[in-house]
Structure 1
Amino acid sequence: MSEATANGTVFHTHTLSNGLQIVGQPMPDFESVAVSFYVRTGSRDEYDPQVAGVSHFLEHMVFKGTSTLDWQEITLEFNKIGAELNAFTSHESTVYYARVLGEYLDRAVTLLSDMMYPRLAESDFETEKEVIVNEIARSEDQPYNITYRRLMQTYFGQHPLGHDVLGSPESIRGMKVEQMRDYWQRRYAANNMILSIAGKFDWEHIIELAEQHCSQWRTGETGRDVSHYEPATPINNVMVDKKLKQQIMIVAMPAVDIKDPDYYAASLGGSILGDSDGSRLYWNIYQRGLAESASAGIWAMEGTGILLMEANSTPEDAPRVLKMLRSELDSLLEDGVYEDELRRAKDKWISGIVLSSESTFSRMRSLATDWVTEGRLVSVEEEIERIEAVTTEDVMRALKRFPLRDKQVLTTLGPLSEAELLA
């Protein structure tokens, strides 16, 4: 199906007989094209603790070889066409992408399609385990990363969103290659994937390529548990490390999910509270020299979401900064937001959308996420209209719908004890 928007933007959608969804946006003024396979699986789909981290581990293994190419040949073939090639894994998705000149699109699609059926050799699997364990160790060496990961585990508890994307050294070392193969068999199915493309391409030719390379792919498991989650009570998780010179503080509380009608209003509220520059936390904490950083924002996922407030300060200022984080939230909820700060938040968001729309990579990502969220493609103009339609009343309603004060989860790392921090 093809659809043209009022300003001339063209969207294409097509579904293969096996359920593979294809979405595209031609950008004829560009010489490049970005193409990806978006797999609707991530750490929140790892229900068995024994396979914690398998989504991210599998992302590594996809680059280790297929039935026709080994890992060196994969690298060489993409190098031959000057491709930007990479992948990433999150709580909810795994994405493999390439950006190339339009003339090399056929080869890029051929290679990426081949990679979706990796060989998953046991020898490669055992070797790559230590690569993953070392990646976990590097992450644990970074205080902010530790704090954020512990926050997710503390906030979500046994909910799948509490699963760490990297897994643990124990889960990685204990994993069997048969478990990964089973996970790939279930989750890397045609009807659980999206082929997304933006830039210089011919739509009918893309359909032909997809039919040629992907039409024989199997179908399999789709969907996940998307029930709303909130912690039952407030939680303080205070991790003490006397060697650290700063106190990292992150506070999380329930908020909108990605499909909530109030998503735009809540996101603007988060921006007003704690955008990286020009927000209330920026002016009242960071610009006053009380913290090295102070910010807030909405993280919306399928079925649930959180409002995050975070700051990083000296131990001497940390108790005061933590109180100020919470008092700024209280002030916003009690006094409301002002038209001028809402206008600034809108302008920043709209500017970001317009600037990213000039990137084939950004549009490729947006097409896939739009399809997952709405089952349709959303133009830049429509998204701007949604933002512009938000009123100050909408922002307050979106924030006050949730127990922001009553279910706060604090996770902090630094030299202070709980008694010292909360004094």
Structure 2
Amino acid sequence: MYKLHALANGVRIVSEYIPYVRSVSLGIWVGNGSRREDKKNNGISHFIEHMLFKGTTNRSAKDIAESIDCIGGQLNAFTGKESTCFYTKTLDTHIDIAIDVLSDMFFNSKISQSDIDVERKVIMEEINMYEDSPEELVHDILSETIWSADPLGYPILGTGESLQQINRDEISKYMENNYTPSNTVIAIAGNFDYDKVIDLLSKKFENWKNINNIGSNYKETNFNSDIVVKHKDTEQAHLCVGFEGIQQGNDSIYELLVVNTIFGGGMSSRLFQKIREEKGLAYSVYSYPSSYQNAGLFAIYAGMNPSQISEVVKLIFAEVDCLNKNKITKEELDKAKEQLKGNYILGLESTSSRMNSIGKSELLLKQIKTPDQILKRINDITIESVSDIIQKVFDNKNISISAVGTIPDDIVFEKFIR
């Protein structure tokens, strides 16, 4: 049972009480990520995430870490393209400590120039580490290729050049514009006293003034079809193929999840069975959908020996053609629906997963579906509705490819698309 409590200043508190667990997960969600940035300040959302752990007027960085460590809890944060989340997971007896620490970080962080200079080096190392991980880099290059004219394609970490532009004034101005009550959701899931938690959160957040009221909508984006190859001296070649997917909030995402399950979402999927199990051409091969406001992506990844690229790409597009021509069988549909339901229900056993689900849903969609509603929606999927989404997504007019590694010069990716 979800409850929504809105403070007078616009902060929304969404909660789910789970009496049979001993943990509670709490997250402060801000509708802000790399998609709010421009070329000059790219990476500032992620930079701010780091800075809130560097110390407040009440606690040093070490004090922040020890406050949660000493009660056996977890404290962390993450930045995405459209949201940032600061969260804790603790025993139910320590929810007051979690609220105190998170709110202190959120409102009282010092964000000193000296800490900014230190953290800039840390994030540069994070970028360098990412550059040394081609199996991750290839996904970012795919996003940059598809949304080259939109901030949605910007790297979340930023670039070496943009990081040099970030200073205390830029951070303060950016937070003033984007860290606002109306753009913030507090999510809590687990075993807790509802009235006590609402009272504690109200005292911490109710005096926060809504200076700016940024819009939640993003401009329309165009899917850019292109091929980008980044040559690196690696043992493996890494490949991503991207199709235009389903935007956030579109109910057809459930059909696409079924397609993904059948096509490349697990060890029993068509891609895995054909390319890895039957042919032995790749250790890792999978697909996944990503949904954003006004935009979506369906991506296929494979990592292989450079000499196998042509064969793997040919097999990927052969499976895409098969999906387009033959669609799926009733048996595949039934199995995929059961797999989706099983994965979803198992995820409900984690207070962290539930907090993430209700926080993100309220922040980005302003609605939360109950487990029964979601399970019913999965059950209602039909062969016809899946066929419609296959026809819509797997369109050969909207394809982009990214490749990273020792890519042979004679590979012509265009011929596979045709």
TM range (shorter): over 0.9
Cα offset, 1:373, TM superposition = 4.3
Which residue is equivalent to 1:99?
A: 89
Which residue is equivalent to 2:390?
A: 399
Pick one of 116, 119, 134 that aligns with 2:110: 119
Following the alignment from structure 1 to structure 2, what is the Cα–Cα distance between the partners of residues 323 and 251?
Answer: 12
2:34–2:42: 8 Å Cα contact kept in structure 1? yes
Pick one of 49, 52, 61 that aligns with 1:71: 61
Which residue is equivalent to 2:275?
A: 285
2:30–2:363: 8 Å Cα contact kept in structure 1? no
CA deviations 1:235-293 (Å, max 9, x no partner) are 1112223x322221101111111211211011211221111211110111111202122
- Does the C-alpha gap of structure 1 residues 122 and 210 become closer, same or farther in structure 2, counting only changes over 3 Å? same
Within a 5 Å distance, the mapping from 1:6-25 to structure 2 comes to 10-25=1-16
Runs of 5+ unmatched residues, structure 1: 1-9
Q: Which amino acid aligns with 1:357?
A: L
Cα offset, 1:67, TM superposition = 2.4
Q: Which amino acid aligns with 1:217?
A: W
Which residue is equivalent to 1:5?
A: none
Pick one of 262, 266, 286 that aligns with 1:272: 262
Pick one of 205, 228, 231 that aligns with 2:223: 231
Q: Please, which moves more after superposition, 246-255 or 365-374?
A: 365-374
CA deviations 1:212-240 (Å, max 9, x no partner) are 111011223333443443334x3111222
How many residue pairs are counted as aligned between the two chains?
Answer: 411
Which residue is equivalent to 1:190?
A: 181
CA deviations 1:111-155 (Å, max 9, x no partner) are 111111222111111111101111111111111122122111111
Q: Report whether the alignment pairs 1:252 with 2:242.
A: yes
Q: Please, which moves more after superposition, 343-352 or 385-394?
A: 343-352
Q: Which amino acid aligns with 1:349?
A: L
Following the alignment from structure 2 to structure 1, what is the Cα–Cα distance between the partners of residues 252 and 192?
Answer: 35
Following the alignment from structure 1 to structure 2, what is the Cα–Cα distance between the partners of residues 192 and 412?
Answer: 37
Within a 5 Å distance, the mapping from 1:130-169 to structure 2 comes to 130-169=121-160
2:29–2:363: 8 Å Cα contact kept in structure 1? no
State the TM-score, normalized to the length of structure 2: 0.95
Q: Report whether the alignment pairs 1:177 with 2:168.
A: yes
Cα offset, 1:402, TM superposition = 4.0
Give identity over the alignment, percent.
Answer: 28
Which residue is equivalent to 1:4?
A: none
2:144–2:154: 8 Å Cα contact kept in structure 1? yes
2:29–2:84: 8 Å Cα contact kept in structure 1? yes
Specify the SS of the correspondent of 1:316. Answer: helix
Which residue is equivalent to 1:376?
A: 367
Q: Which amino acid aligns with 1:136?
A: I
Q: Which amino acid aligns with 1:107?
A: I
Within a 5 Å distance, the mapping from 1:81-96 to structure 2 comes to 81-96=71-86
1:269–1:395: 8 Å Cα contact kept in structure 2? yes
Specify the SS of the correspondent of 1:370. Answer: helix
Q: Which amino acid aligns with 2:51?
A: M
CA deviations 1:175-232 (Å, max 9, x no partner) are 2221111111111111111110011111111211121111011223333443443334
- Does the C-alpha gap of structure 1 residues 395 and 369 become closer, same or farther in structure 2, counting only changes over 3 Å? same
Q: Report whether the alignment pairs 1:62 with 2:49.
A: no
Following the alignment from structure 1 to structure 2, what is the Cα–Cα distance between the partners of residues 71 and 373?
Answer: 30
- Does the C-alpha gap of structure 1 residues 97 and 17 become closer, same or farther in structure 2, counting only changes over 3 Å? same
Q: Please, which moves more after superposition, 29-38 or 400-409?
A: 400-409
1:12–1:203: 8 Å Cα contact kept in structure 2? no
Following the alignment from structure 1 to structure 2, what is the Cα–Cα distance between the partners of residues 228 and 299?
Answer: 16
Which residue is equivalent to 2:204?
A: 213
Q: Which amino acid aligns with 1:64?
A: K
Root-mean-square deviation (Å): 1.6
Specify the SS of the correspondent of 1:419. Answer: coil
Following the alignment from structure 2 to structure 1, what is the Cα–Cα distance between the partners of residues 23 and 236?
Answer: 44
Which residue is equivalent to 1:420?
A: 411
Pick one of 43, 51, 63 that aligns with 1:53: 43
Q: Please, which moves more after superposition, 402-411 or 314-323?
A: 402-411
Q: Which amino acid aligns with 1:222?
A: I
Q: Which amino acid aligns with 1:406?
A: K
Cα offset, 1:370, TM superposition = 2.1
Following the alignment from structure 1 to structure 2, what is the Cα–Cα distance between the partners of residues 195 and 145?
Answer: 30
Following the alignment from structure 1 to structure 2, what is the Cα–Cα distance between the partners of residues 101 and 42?
Answer: 30
Q: Report whether the alignment pairs 1:336 with 2:340.
A: no
Within a 5 Å distance, the mapping from 1:291-310 to structure 2 comes to 291-310=282-301
CA deviations 1:341-376 (Å, max 9, x no partner) are 112211221111111111111111111122134422
Runs of 5+ unmatched residues, structure 2: none
Cα offset, 1:173, TM superposition = 2.1
